[in-house]
Structure 1
Amino acid sequence: MQQSDKLSETEIIDRVLKGEKLLYELIVRRFNSYLYKIGRSYNYNHEDTQDLMQDTYIDAYKSLSQFKNHSNFKTWLIRIMLNNCFRKKEKFSFKNEFAKADLNENVTPMFTNSNNDANKNIHNRELGRVIEESLSKIPEEYRMVFSLREISGLNVSETADLLNISQANVKVRLNRAKVMLREQLEKSYSTSELFEFNLIYCDALTANVMQKINEL
């Protein structure tokens, strides 16, 4: 698969549908970090999130022929992950208690472009736990908007469509989510460092997904 990693999602899907099943591994590796962040932002633990990711990749594989090329594949895949997260929550009656926060609409954005070192590699696991804990305390409607916009990099329109809310609501919820996190997170850290999916986990999950796909 030397040159295959440069293929677009559309090209990969076309070739997978024509029988090159092994190329689906590229999809799994390409989107592992996005799906992991979605599951963790839904307040699922590491193990449950990996299970949800695996289910999502299998569901997507079975529905590849239904994927419309004019759609955004990343958004389509995230929608499947969100649906799986929601179904699991409903099935097990997941309940989270949230502390009420005092909101201030005019607060300075949590992440700014003034920090030129935002892309530096910071391997501080304790920081990661602090960030995850902070996000877990934010009500779900704000946490999911924050995750989709700031962590997964979706635009306002895509986020609104996925969550079935207005674009104005997306903006309001994102601002409030930042307010809730502002006092707990350092501005010097980039959103890309949230909920990182370690390469070790990536390899194992990818192998599991491909094994199940090869059995289909």
Structure 2
Amino acid sequence: MNIAQLDTEIISRVLQGEKTLFAELVKKYQNFVFTIAGRYASNREDAEEIAQDVFVKAYKNLADFRGDAKFSTWLYTITSTTCISFLRKKKLAVHSLDQEHVFELADRQDSGFRANQVEQKSRSNMVNQAIQLLSPDDAKIITLFYKGEQSLEEIGSIMGIDPNTVKVKLHRARQRLRNKMEEHFAEEVKNITD
């Protein structure tokens, strides 16, 4: 049984009354939802709040899932809409990477970790920061493909474009991401490739 079939089976059972099975979907997709929410939110707490709202909305509207696409595609739509609504309500300020306190905060959050965990988190943070420097479309494609593990067809469905166009846009977005990383994180990129 593939992932989509397994998700559909869980959804069917939840709708038939086995409500506790929804926790399996939450566990399976929590990182996916949190990653997307983190792109919109300015801090971890807001991203966690958004993620929680997403799963509440998904649970309440589970009967609306038709199965035309994968559950993760449907969940992405809810996540994206919830993030936009959250930002409208909060009117969150976007922090510039040029602000020193952003880096100080990141340094404080890393303290106490073993060296390899700090390095891995630093690389992940660097990539996430570089993604934030991209245009919204580029960031969305990169996030969906690499963090959301969506296929070209699924991304095309989400964005309303042809899968071949997605492939071209993904290639260009990767190139722009590489350029942003080299431009803004030249020393870090050099250390990673050495």
Please report the TM-score for the alignment, with normalisation by the length of structure 2.
0.70
Q: CA deviation at 1:46?
A: 1.8
CA deviation vs aligned residue, 1:65-99 (integer Å, no higher than 9, x gap)? 1211343111111111011112223444457599x
- On the 8 A contact 1:43/1:136 being kept in 2, the answer is no
Greater RCO, CA 8 A, separation 6+: 1
Closer/same/farther in 2, CA of residues 174 and 94 from structure 1, 3 Å limit: farther
Percent identity over the alignment is 27
- On the 8 A contact 1:40/1:46 being kept in 2, the answer is yes
For 1:59 and 1:91, locate their aligned partners in 2 and report how far apart those are by CA, in whole Å: 17
Indicate the RMSD between aligned Cα atoms, in angstroms.
3.0
Closer/same/farther in 2, CA of residues 134 and 162 from structure 1, 3 Å limit: same
Closer/same/farther in 2, CA of residues 42 and 140 from structure 1, 3 Å limit: farther
Q: CA deviation at 1:35?
A: 0.9
Residue number in structure 1 paired with 2:84: 86
- On the 8 A contact 1:149/1:155 being kept in 2, the answer is yes
- Note if 1:128 corresponds to 2:124: yes
- Superposed, 1:159-174 pairs within 5 Å as 159-174=155-170
Residue number in structure 2 paired with 1:3: none
- Superposed, 1:1-216 pairs within 5 Å as 8-42=6-40, 44-93=42-91, 123=117, 124-183=120-179, 184=181
Closer/same/farther in 2, CA of residues 71 and 173 from structure 1, 3 Å limit: closer
Q: CA deviation at 1:173?
A: 2.9
* Amino acid paired to 1:49: A
Closer/same/farther in 2, CA of residues 95 and 166 from structure 1, 3 Å limit: farther
Aligned residues: 161
Q: Which runs of 5+ in 1 are unaligned?
A: 1-6, 99-121, 190-216
Q: CA deviation at 1:180?
A: 2.3
- On the 8 A contact 2:138/2:173 being kept in 1, the answer is yes
Q: Which runs of 5+ in 2 are unaligned?
A: 97-115, 183-188
For 1:127 and 1:71, locate their aligned partners in 2 and report how far apart those are by CA, in whole Å: 33
- On the 8 A contact 1:160/1:166 being kept in 2, the answer is yes
Please report the TM-score for the alignment, with normalisation by the length of structure 1.
0.64
Q: CA deviation at 1:165?
A: 3.6
